[in-house]
């Protein structure tokens, strides 16, 4: 079976050779970064419809991570969303929270402002252009919560990204995640994920269908990790398996 997978991977690599050449020439990424936010906008409604119950249950836990303070009027919950995209999570955030959005694609910023206009209960504090592996523009210990949804699959160094997330969280802060993970290794879906991956990385903005995100989460230095698996067919059923939960610094 390994030889068949390798042969099919080679065929897919051949089919996407023109894209590989464009990327090597430095032409693919700028074009795709302009197009990708429009593509995501077309999927947001479907994703939120399928994930509504999961997102609501998860983000209903956010207020519990607001910093305790003796002040009569406590400060609003501070949330950093890493890989914010178009702001698909805004409708599920609690009232009055302040959200800092970080994304490596500057073309998402104008879409964020549209989303925040439709979610008047949330305040967009600022947009930060940067990657999950290097969030130097966000101060250490400054966030009550960090959120990632369907993002870690496209991060080049997940361990470094999780280290940065822990750095920006205040002690006792929470990291909230919904991430797709590789299918079970004995199934056909896992086989086809490996076959399609050479093309998927280009059209999924660097997404890896075969990453073991849960293993990285489990070895990160969270004091507590609440993680569970669920199934939700998405993206031509190539992304079925997910993990959802939160880790506490």
* pLDDT tens-digit readout, 142-157: 999 999 999 999 999 9
pLDDT per residue as tens digits for the range 54-77: 999 999 999 999 877 666 567 889
What is the Cβ-side half-sphere exposure of residue 10, based on CA atoms within 13 angstroms? 6
Domain 2-63+76-87+94-248: give its CATH code: 3.40.50.150
Tokens of 154: 């496209």
Distance in angstroms (rounded) separating the CA atoms of residues 19 and 194: 19
Tokens of 30: 């700028």
pLDDT class of 247 with cuts at 50, 70, 90: very high
| Percent of the chain predicted with pLDDT > 90 | 68
Instruction: Compute the mean pLDDT over every residue in the chain, rounded to the nearest whole number.
Output: 91
Q: Where are the beta strands (DSSP E) in the chain?
A: 78-82, 98-103, 123-129, 143-149, 169-180, 224-234, 239-248
pLDDT of residue 72: 57
Distance in angstroms (rounded) separating the CA atoms of residues 108 and 197: 25
Q: How far is CA 203 from CA 16, 54, 142, 154, in A?
A: 10, 26, 34, 11
């Amino acid at each position: 079976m390994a030889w068949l997978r390798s042969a099919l991977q080679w065929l897919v690599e051949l089919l996407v050779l023109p894209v590989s050449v464009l990327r090597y020439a430095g032409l693919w990424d700028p074009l795709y970064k302009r197009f990708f936010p429009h593509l995501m906008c077309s999927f947001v409604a479907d994703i939120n419809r399928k994930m509504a119950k999961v997102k609501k249950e998860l983000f209903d836990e956010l207020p519990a991570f607001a910093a305790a303070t003796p002040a009569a009027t406590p400060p609003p919950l501070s949330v950093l969303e890493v890989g914010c995209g178009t702001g698909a999570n805004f409708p599920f955030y609690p009232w009055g929270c302040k959200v800092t959005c970080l994304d490596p694609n500057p073309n998402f910023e104008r879409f964020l402002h549209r989303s925040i206009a439709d979610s008047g209960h949330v305040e967009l504090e600022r947009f930060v252009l940067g990657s999950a592996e290097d969030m130097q523009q966000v101060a250490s210990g400054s966030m009550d919560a960090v959120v990632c949804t369907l993002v870690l699959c496209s991060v080049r160094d997940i361990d470094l990204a999780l280290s940065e997330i822990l750095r920006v969280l205040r002690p006792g802060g929470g990291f909230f995640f919904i991430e797709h993970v590789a299918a079970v290794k004995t199934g056909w879906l896992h086989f086809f994920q490996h076959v399609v991956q050479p093309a998927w990385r280009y059209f999924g903005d660097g997404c890896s269908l075969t990453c073991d995100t849960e293993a990285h989460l489990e070895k990160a230095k969270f004091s507590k990790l609440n993680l569970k698996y669920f199934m939700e067919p998405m993206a031509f059923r190539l992304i079925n398996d997910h993990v959802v939960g939160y880790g506490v610094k």
